[in-house]
Amino acid sequence: MNHLVSMRQVGKDDILDLIDLAEKIETGKVHPDLSGRLGALLFFEPSTRTFFSFDTAIKRLKGRSLAMSGSGTTSVKKGETLADTLMTISQYADFIVMRHKIEGAAQFASEILDIPVINAGDGTNQHPTQAMLDLYSIYKTQGTLENLKIAMIGDLRLGRTVHSLAQALTDFNPTFYFASPRHLQMPKHIKDELQNKHIKFEEIEDIKPVIPELDIMYVTRIQKERFAVLEDYEKVKNAYIIDNQMLEDVKGNFKLLHPLPRVNEIKPEVDSNPHAYYFQQAKNGVVMRQAIISKIMKLV
Ligand code: CP
């Protein structure tokens, strides 16, 4: 891997390799060393977890970071192009982690720069490092990635995390249940990809009947900021709200995941439910991002 732009470029062996490396980093079996190297965190869109976990990962690897959180204090404000901004930052840094609202922005960066680029989310398209930490979380809680029953719930059209995760799981024979408001269904190109790979999936409205069969429930936020008309958001914002009662009949191994941030789609009462795993999932992001940087920067 020279860049990490999309889960489409990450095969089954790469996924298992990264999980193995993350596990070894977490258990102290390996200590990749990023000393003397500089990672630039270029976040043109807001972030809490991805920004801070990458910063933490770089520091735990003994590297250093340059950070841009919002472009308001940079020369983007004066009209500098994305290409010129990237070319300039690449004169200072050894690799770039970038979040941008435009789909394909990370791919563009990877094509014009001669340093590695890691996609930290591009519009509604991809969030591959989130998919990798999701896979690590699933692996840690299930002991396998194979043959799992997984429900994805919420905004499946505009939510980039579910696009990357669904693609990443296609090598592991999942059964998917997709539950979303009608206008926020999983995009056709992802469903076509699943069909071509003979992956079983069902689009459902009512999640309650399938909950007792699930290994993983992956809930996402309805993304207000991506709606052009606020009224359309208001109509669907409460479509799915998970509470403790809904989880009464889940299997013992069942885990509730969410990439976060949440708004109201998981009630706070669920946080102390033993099946809730979303904050540990966020924690797993640090070691997985250490593993990704280590691979990209060829430290291991
Ligand atoms: N999961 C995720 O991408 O969270 P942030 O937007 O806070 O980075």
pLDDT recorded at residue 208 = 96
- As given in the structure block, the two tokens for residue 69 are 């959180």
Nearest-angstrom CA–CA distance, 32 and 154: 37
- pTM of the predicted protein model: 0.96
- The answer to whether the CB of 167 is under 6 A from ligand 1 is no
Buried/exposed code over 122-160 (b: 16+ C-beta within 10 A; e: otherwise): bbbbbbbbbbbbbbbbbbbbbeebeebbbbbbbbbbbbb
Find the helix or strand (DSSP H, E) in which 202 lies. Answer: strand 200-204
- The answer to whether the CB of 261 is under 6 A from ligand 1 is yes
- The answer to whether the CB of 130 is under 6 A from ligand 1 is yes
Residues 70-85: pLDDT tens digits?
888 888 889 999 999 9
Which position has the token pair 């396998």? 144
Q: Which CATH architecture has domain 7-126+285-296?
A: 3-Layer(aba) Sandwich (3.40)
User: Which residue in 129, 172, 143 sits closest to 287, CA to CA?
Assistant: 129
| DSSP 8-state secondary structure symbol assigned to residue 185 | P
Below-50 pLDDT ranges, the chain? none
pLDDT recorded at residue 228 = 86
Q: Atom 4 (ligand 1): residue with closest C-alpha? A: 49
pLDDT recorded at residue 225 = 84
- The answer to whether the CB of 49 is under 6 A from ligand 1 is yes
The pick from 43, 44, 49 for probing ligand 1's pocket by mutation, whose C-beta has the most ligand atoms within 8 angstroms, reads 49
Find the helix or strand (DSSP H, E) in which 119 lies. Answer: strand 117-122
- The answer to whether the CB of 266 is under 6 A from ligand 1 is no
Q: Could you give the residue numbers annotated as active site?
A: 49-50, 78, 99, 127
* Separation of CA 108 and ligand 1 centre (Å): 22
Q: Atom 7 (ligand 1): residue with closest C-alpha? A: 48
Nearest-angstrom CA–CA distance, 136 and 125: 21
Q: Which CATH architecture has domain 128-282?
A: 3-Layer(aba) Sandwich (3.40)
Find the helix or strand (DSSP H, E) in which 172 lies. Answer: none
* Separation of CA 262 and ligand 1 centre (Å): 10
What does the chain come to in residues? 300
* Separation of CA 154 and ligand 1 centre (Å): 16
Q: Atom 3 (ligand 1): residue with closest C-alpha? A: 50
- Specify the domain boundaries for CATH 3.40.50.1370 within the chain: 7-126+285-296, 128-282
pLDDT recorded at residue 236 = 87
